[in-house]
Structure 1
Amino acid sequence: MPVTSYAIAIGSNRPGAHGRPEAEVRAAVATLGTVIAMSPVIATPPLGPSSRRFANAVALLESAESPADLLARLKKIERGFGRRPGRRWGARVIDLDIVLWSGGIHAESGLTIPHPAFRTRRFVLDPLLALAPDWRDPVTGFTMRQLAARARAVDRRPRRS
């Protein structure tokens, strides 16, 4: 398989062997291989029932791995960091998700690229915007710049009670 680019979302909201969540994110990036860029690590509120804030970042990497092979490697890294199956959106030492790849759209059992929810998640879009503002979502055709602007506009809308 030719070398392709992947955008990997990284999150942590629980200390682990490497220290605080920010250190877990940086340590996970160091295990990814050929990282061509990493966003700043940002602190974000939790999604779902967790009460712990997250440290989030995005890394761009190049790999000759297929999406399925990369996913298997990411899951192995998560297990190595102490991640165990548990409650959805609960506390976790590390979470590694394939958000985009230069191959466009990919769908198979257990893996959909682009990540189905990334378009509304500022904790993914903001770091991705810092790295690849012109990368186009192969589903919508929007750039990361456009998707981030849309997500910010939604966040600014007045809430109805």
Structure 2
Amino acid sequence: MPTSYAIAIGSNRRGRHGAPAREVAAAIAALDPVHVSPILLTAPLGPSIRRFANAALLIESDETPAVLLARLKAIERDFGRRRGQRWGARVIDLDIVLWSGGTWRDSALTVPHVAFRARRFVLDCLVHIAPAWRDPVTGLSVRQLTYRAQAVDRRRPRP
């Protein structure tokens, strides 16, 4: 029986499909999603200076999280992704954020994604397609996590 996965997608570098938003759109097409969020333009984290195109999607799959991760990494390589500087520019980044099976942990993967609860660029996309999906660790819905992350951002001092 298929399970559901929430996948986060990001790009901030041109690739063979074109500008970052086109790379995201091509990755979406490669994954045959059930639901897709809008593509949002977001500020980068870390040392990268280029804005990101981000989206989230829901897929159904019989694959285990580990097998799906291998497929996502193969898609990243096919798109021209090369491992390099953490948080640097990238043609495509595909992350498993949530899995309807609950939690998963092995040496290569942790589901839910360890940082998704604080990442607006993931939550702001995910809330469009799965607002009621509950984080199996905190029990909070994506809508609640998004609200909390927005509240934290509102309290941060502006430069």
Fold shared by both chains (TM-score > 0.5)? yes
Offset at 1:32?
1.0
Aligned counterpart, 1:107:
105
Q: Secondary structure at the match of 2:31?
A: coil
Question: Residue 12 and residue 160 in structure 1: after superposition, are their counterparts in 2 closer, same or farther (change >3 A)?
Answer: closer
Offset at 1:160?
8.9
Q: 1:94 and 2:92 equivalent?
A: yes
Gaps of 5+ in 2: none
Amino acid across the alignment from 1:80? D
- Take 2:29 and 2:134, find their aligned partners in 1: how far apart are those partners? 26
Pairwise mapping of residues 76-155 of structure 1 onto structure 2 (< 5 A)?
Answer: 76-155=74-153
- Take 1:74 and 1:132, find their aligned partners in 2: how far apart are those partners? 20
Pairwise mapping of residues 1-150 of structure 1 onto structure 2 (< 5 A)?
Answer: 2-33=1-32, 35-150=33-148
Give the alignment's Cα RMSD to 1 decimal.
1.2
- Take 1:15 and 1:153, find their aligned partners in 2: how far apart are those partners? 33
Amino acid across the alignment from 2:92? I
TM value normalised by structure 1: 0.96
- Take 2:20 and 2:83, find their aligned partners in 1: how far apart are those partners? 18
- Take 1:42 and 1:126, find their aligned partners in 2: how far apart are those partners? 8
TM value normalised by structure 2: 0.98
- Take 1:24 and 1:133, find their aligned partners in 2: how far apart are those partners? 25
Identity %: 67
- Take 2:125 and 2:83, find their aligned partners in 1: how far apart are those partners? 26
Q: Number of residue pairs matched?
A: 159
- Take 1:42 and 1:140, find their aligned partners in 2: how far apart are those partners? 26
- Take 1:68 and 1:158, find their aligned partners in 2: how far apart are those partners? 37
Amino acid across the alignment from 2:145? L
Offset at 1:155?
0.3
Question: 1:56-97 CA deviation, whole Å, 9 max, x = no partner?
Answer: 000100000110000000000000000001000000000000
